[in-house]
Amino acid sequence: VPNAEDELIRRIRRRVPSARGGGLHVGIGDDAAVIRPRQGNEWVLTCDQFLEGVHFLRDVYPPDAVGYKALARATSDIGAMGARPRFFLLSLCLPEKLAGSWLDGMANGMARAARQYGLTLAGGDTARSAPPNPCVGLDLTVLGETRIGRAVGRTGARSGDALFVSGTLGASQLGLELIRQGLSRKKRWRKLLQPHFYPKIATELGRWLAERQLVSAMMDISDGLSTDLYRLCAASRGGARIYEDRLPSVAVSSDLAAAGLDARSLALHGGEDYGLLFAVRKRHIPVIPKVFRGHRITRIGEIVAGSEVTVVARGKSSSLAPLGWDHFRKSN
Ligand SMILES: [Mg+2]
């Protein structure tokens, strides 16, 4: 009798890159992976959960979007440290009835993200999600590689540094709002869901900035600019001032604005865009490009003394509340 779990692993392996090489000496099929970094390099590690009902709704998400986004969002943190994504481990919890074509679709999406970001699957674990509440759960551990000492954290920003973001702010949240309002199945809005289902992460930009030592602090924007900027400021013991009219906000058409969608609050508080937020010393500002491999780069403000984060709109400055995504907020 063929072992069902082994068959499930074979299904994933057939799709997701998992070949040895490039430092991976022992991979899937043994008890544990054996991986060696290149000389002069060190590992950067992160893990990230993607859970049905918490992070995604299975009746809304295409299966390949579940696989793509789960790996992309985990890998985003590696890029935000300035490291190069290399290997990942997948812990998968799955209801039995999804072990066929749903699993294949999920693995296809994950494979696409793995190829796009240069990742090899080095191992993992699978479990059956049992009644009464069988849900999909993915937990991704991603390893990145960087030159020793070159990883960029959140703590190095200083007063006077310029603040930049990459990509568009609020595009993923716009997709989520369309889903929430029941508009996601309409053909005319379908394209607006792409940034929510398949976020394009900026790992190569993060690496480029870190290797040239152009950034004093960097992070990815996963929970919304307002919330993540607070985190960067707190870690660097500074404040920030940003300018509303400079924000690379998602475009909101007039009919969607009439449905209550507001570009300003999507840009300030919308989560899951996975662009980079980074601080740059004055002397390096001229070196920062306007676009990097398709990722638009925008200077949105500066780090200031103190601890307050303010937003300037029409000449008026007001305090910016961190209203992005918060799993443990009481009102959620
Ligand atoms: Mg992050």
Helix (H) or strand (E) holding 90: strand 84-94
Residue type for 316, please?
K
pLDDT in tens, 231-258: 999 999 999 999 999 999 999 999 899 9
CA 220 to centroid of ligand 1, rounded, Å: 5
Measured distance CA(90)–CA(139) in Å, rounded: 6
Is 35's pLDDT higher than 90? Answer: yes
Mean pLDDT (whole number) for 5-32: 92
CA 254 to centroid of ligand 1, rounded, Å: 32
CA 160 to centroid of ligand 1, rounded, Å: 24
Is 129's pLDDT higher than 60? Answer: yes
Measured distance CA(104)–CA(106) in Å, rounded: 5
Give the pLDDT band (50/70/90) at residue 163. very high
pLDDT confidence of residue 332: 42
Whether the bond between 132 and the residue before it is cis, its omega within 30 degrees of 0, is yes
Helix (H) or strand (E) holding 84: strand 84-94
Least confident of 125-129, 169-173, 242-246: 125-129
Mean pLDDT (whole number) for 86-101: 95
pLDDT over 70 for what percent of the chain? 98
CB 191 within 8 A of CB 172: no
Is 331's pLDDT higher than 70? Answer: no
pLDDT over 90 for what percent of the chain? 85
CA 49 to centroid of ligand 1, rounded, Å: 12
Is 321's pLDDT higher than 90? Answer: no
CA 28 to centroid of ligand 1, rounded, Å: 27
Least confident of 14-18, 187-191, 267-271, 280-284: 187-191
CA 76 to centroid of ligand 1, rounded, Å: 7
